[in-house]
């Protein structure tokens, strides 16, 4: 009843429904291209390393998130989003020229531009959502956004792989271009009034620094973003043990797909429950509960038993999104509109860059010690990360957990 009420509550709002529909369309195209690009490179070169670089090319621009987010504060967000979507739709047909290893540079160049445009798009979208959707719906919308994004990860890669097998990489690029055109059209239908942006007059560097200072100086946002980044680091570290876990269970490496599917199912459920849980618990306690659940699951995963492995995968999927939804919604609620693009992009960098670092570090650590030792250590660190958020704080530092109606969606 709670989840169905949340969905109907959001979909009754015209702008919220349009935002979520645009998200589904964009996520479908992006997830399809993400898988197909790696397969494309692998088929042309036979190199696993070059295929893995596709994901790095898309993620690398997030390191410049604070600077890229400044763009979202220099222009009105709705026209900017439409322009970015149309620009990417026009860019993707360039991939039709990638037909040999010598032209792979074009694929990687497009992926880097794709990632940079995505950072600007996400910042502008987050800022526009605060103007298009009522503050009491932000937690529900962000929760459903997580559900839909995870759902697309379960469906879209299969579609991309099928299209690639049947018609090759250009067909997937064409599909992604169409999704951007549709997203631009849906954005154009939003009914929102935006004031012209006001320049601070301090130049790009000063404007970027203003967003960083606001985020890190805010007593409600800093603990959530810091805990979120730490959680992403630790879960990335634990994620590098998945093949060792599968090996201890006596399965082939392909069994990792079963565990990832179970985690995806947990994330879908987390998104549906996020809005009501945020209103009941508040942002800090909701994040703490999710981190603690993830930590307990990581510890339990050290037990080499199939039912435990499946249950802990679902629990990780259920727990991990909590701090992300809480932190990003709090940024939307507690940041003045003129700063919101920069603050959102900075939060994205601080939350998701540790994921890349954790994957690199964990790949080395898992060669030195087995999951029986590493997983309890990672899980204990997650439980310690949850403790500060679970403690009561003065009201001044709890503003990220309060809505105008005292209902807290993050």
- Residue 391, domain CATH: 1.20.1250.20
**Assigned domain for 99 exists:** yes
Domain membership flag for residue 197? no
Mean pLDDT along residues 386-393: 85
Q: Cα 320 to chain center, whole Å?
A: 11
The answer to whether residues 180 and 264 belong to one domain is no
Say whether both 260 and 393 belong to one domain.
yes
State the Cα–Cα distance between residues 280 and 326, nearest whole angstrom. 13
Portion of the chain with pLDDT greater than 90, in percent: 45
Q: Please tell me the predicted confidence (pLDDT) of residue 384.
A: 97
- In sequence order, which residues have a C-beta less than 8 Å from that of residue 167 and are 6 or more positions away? none
Tell me the pLDDT of the chain averaged across its residues.
86
Work out the average pLDDT over 16-31: 87
Q: Are residues 173 and 241 in the same domain?
A: no
Q: What is the pLDDT of residue 31?
A: 81
Residue 145 belongs to some domain of the structure: yes
Do 228 and 96 lie in a common domain? Answer: no
Q: Are residues 303 and 355 in the same domain?
A: yes
What's the chain's Rg over C-alpha atoms? 21
Residue 49 pLDDT class (50, 70, 90 cuts): low
Model confidence pLDDT, tens digit, residues 192-203: 888 777 666 667
Per residue in 305-353, pLDDT (tens digit) is 999 999 999 999 999 999 999 999 999 999 998 888 999 999 999 998 8
Share of the chain above pLDDT 70, in %: 91
- Let me know if residue 3 belongs to a domain: yes
CA distances from 116 to 65, 76, 123, 199, 276 (A): 8, 18, 11, 22, 33
Q: Are 131 and 240 in a shared domain?
A: no
Q: What's the average model confidence in pLDDT over 371-380?
A: 96
State whether 222 and 186 are in the same domain: no
* Domain assignment of residue 382, yes or no: yes
Task: Give yes or no: residues 299 and 162 share one domain.
Answer: no
Three-state DSSP class for residue 406: coil
- 368 in a domain, yes or no? yes
Contact of 35 with 161, CB cutoff 8 Å: yes
The C-alpha angle with vertex 130 and arms to 194 and 57, in degrees rounded to 5, equals 100
Give start and end residues of each alpha helix (H) in 240-339.
Answer: 242-249, 256-281, 283-300, 306-334
Same domain, 104 and 236: no
Q: Which residue range forms the structural domain that includes residue 178?
A: 1-190
Please give the pLDDT value at position 196: 75
Q: What are the b/e assignments for 128-162, b being 16+ CB within 10 Å?
A: bbbbbbeebbbbbbbbbbbbbbbbbbeebbebbee
161 pLDDT higher than 90: no
Q: What pTM value is reported for the model?
A: 0.81
Judge whether residue 156 has pLDDT over 80. no
pLDDT digits (tens, 9 = 90+) for 193-241: 887 776 666 677 888 888 889 998 999 999 999 999 999 999 999 988 9
Q: Is residue 407 part of a domain?
A: no
For residues 181 and 208, membership in a common domain is answered with: no
Q: So what's the pLDDT on residue 310?
A: 95
pLDDT at residue 403, rounded to an integer: 32
Q: What is the pLDDT of residues 51-78, one digit of tens each?
A: 768 877 887 888 888 889 888 888 899 9
pLDDT value for 323: 96
Burial of 295 per CB tally in 10 Å (0-12, 13-18, 19+): buried
Mean pLDDT of 269-274: 88
Boundary of a domain, candidates 164, 190, 216:
190
Average confidence (pLDDT) over 367-395:
89
Q: Is 61 a domain residue?
A: yes
Residues 291 and 353 in one domain: yes
Count: domains in the chain:
2
Query: What is the predicted pLDDT for the residue at 397?
Result: 36
Domain boundary residue among 190, 216, 235? Answer: 190
**How confident is the model at residue 83, as a pLDDT?**
96
Single residue among 140, 161, 190 that ends a domain in this structure:
190
Q: Are residues 146 and 234 in the same domain?
A: no
What's the rounded mean pLDDT across residues 2-9?
60
């Amino acid at each position: 009843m709670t989840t169905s009420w949340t969905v109907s509550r959001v979909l009754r709002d015209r702008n919220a429904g349009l935002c979520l529909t645009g998200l589904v369309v964009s996520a479908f195209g992006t997830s399809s291209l993400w898988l197909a690009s790696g397969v494309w490179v692998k088929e042309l070169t036979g190199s696993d390393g070059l295929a893995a670089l596709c994901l790095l090319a898309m993620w690398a621009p997030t390191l410049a998130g604070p600077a890229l987010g400044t763009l979202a504060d220099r222009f009105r967000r709705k026209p900017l989003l439409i322009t970015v979507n149309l620009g990417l739709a026009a860019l993707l047909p360039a991939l039709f020229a990638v037909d040999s290893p010598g032209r792979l540079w074009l694929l990687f160049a497009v992926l880097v531009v794709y990632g940079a445009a995505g950072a600007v798009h996400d910042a502008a979208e987050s800022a526009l959502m605060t103007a298009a959707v009522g503050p009491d719906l932000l937690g529900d919308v962000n929760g459903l956004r997580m559900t839909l994004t995870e759902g697309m990860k379960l469906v879209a890669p299969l579609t991309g792989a099928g299209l690639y097998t049947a018609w090759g990489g250009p067909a997937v690029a064409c599909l992604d271009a169409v999704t951007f055109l549709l997203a631009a059209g849906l954005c154009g239908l939003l009914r929102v009034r935006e004031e012209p942006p006001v320049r601070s007059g301090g130049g790009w560097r000063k404007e970027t620094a203003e967003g960083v200072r606001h985020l890190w100086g805010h007593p409600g946002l800093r603990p959530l973003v810091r805990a979120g980044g730490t959680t992403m680091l630790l879960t990335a570290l634990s994620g590098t043990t998945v093949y060792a876990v599968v090996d201890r269970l006596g399965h082939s490496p392909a069994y990792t797909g079963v565990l990832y599917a179970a985690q995806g199912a947990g994330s879908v459920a987390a998104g549906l429950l996020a809005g009501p849980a945020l209103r009941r618990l508040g942002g800090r306690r909701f994040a703490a509960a999710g981190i603690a659940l993830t930590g307990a699951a990581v510890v339990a995963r050290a037990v080499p038993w199939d039912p435990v492995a499946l249950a802990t995968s679902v629990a990780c999927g259920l727990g991990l999104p909590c701090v992300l939804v809480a932190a990003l919604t709090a940024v939307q609620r507690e940041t003045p509109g003129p700063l919101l693009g920069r603050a959102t992009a900075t939060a994205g960098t601080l939350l998701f860059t540790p994921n890349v670092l954790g994957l690199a570090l964990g790949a080395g650590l898992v060669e030195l010690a087995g999951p029986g030792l590493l997983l309890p250590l990672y899980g204990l660190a997650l439980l310690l990360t949850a403790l500060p958020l679970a403690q009561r704080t003065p009201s001044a530092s709890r503003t990220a957990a309060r809505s105008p109606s005292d209902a807290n969606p993050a």
